[in-house]
Amino acid sequence: MRILFFSAKPYDKQFFNKANEEYGHQIEYLETHLGPHIVQAVDGQEAVCVFVNDKVNAGVIGVLADRGVKIIALRCAGFNNVDLEAARKAGIRVCRVPEYSPEAVAEHTIAMILTLVRKTHKAYNRVREQNFSLNGLIGMNLHQKTVGIIGTGKIGKAFARIMTGFGCRVIAYDPYPDPQFDTVTYLPLDALLAESDIISLHCPLTDDTRHIINKQTLSAMKKGVTLINTSRGALVNTADVIQALKRHHIAFLGIDVYEQEEQLFFKDLSESIIEDDTIQRLMSFPNVLVTAHQAFFTQEALHEIATVTLDSVTALNAGNEPENRGVMLV
């Protein structure tokens, strides 16, 4: 079948072309993100493949349906950018990759924490300038710290297991706790906020979790807390976090995602004037680490994403359901 990719990067082409040797689909790639401005480019394709910042709203879905698209394949786990009800009404199937590599995201979360609390990024830059002084590089141990995890899906569980290995006390909040997961102690959200030295977000973005980190929840955290978000940008009210940084309430902030990232991430803007004052303010803090949505970005994860996506599209095109029911949204 013909599949049109949006937001396609060189690494997408590399891994999907390799995986497609087994399936034989006709794949076309567009670098632009999907939205009302480009949806008319769909011409004869039975499926579109989209990523986290593509806008698949009701209007876009209506055009896709009119142009014969039967499948929307998300090559990611999150699906907050897709109007699932509109897809259902249009008779378009929607699939995703729910668990391509929980360890990839969990390990990147650890990398961000260690970079911040041991200041290895500052040491790297300092030594390259032949400055071997240790002044200003005092860090902190992770051992015996209390780590709070908001969301204990696949990624949250992987992160919890790693932090247990560091000798941390690991607590968690999830509206649907897993009684079989005894690596963590489940607590109400307010108790987790009050007790945690480090808080890491691993929940999906929904109406209930949007801005779960806000002025009120930040005030409930310990002074000197480390906050990490490798899930979805809109879990955090960025303006409120900036105020908490200015008050020194947050000791360290690490974000791999950002509310307005679709204007920035996955692009080379090194020769551009960035007009987003909020991200510029965030990056001005010496205790803030920003990475550009790369937590998922490992060879293993990209291979799994390509394989699961093409396997799901192939099954749906043949009138079958994918073997892994977790990939199906509509």
Residues annotated catalytic, as ranges: 232, 261, 293
d(CA 233, CA 211): 9
Scan for tokens 């076309």, then name that residue. Answer: 28
> Please, which residues have CB within 8 angstroms of residue 324's CB and are 6 or more apart in sequence?
98, 308, 312
248: exposed, middle or buried (Cβ count in 10 Å: 0-12, 13-18, 19+): exposed
Count the Cβ atoms, other than its own, within 10 Å of residue 40. Answer: 9
Scan for tokens 């293993």, then name that residue. Answer: 300
Scan for tokens 């999150």, then name that residue. Answer: 78
N-term to C-term CA, the chain: 20
The amino acid that residue 148 corresponds to is G
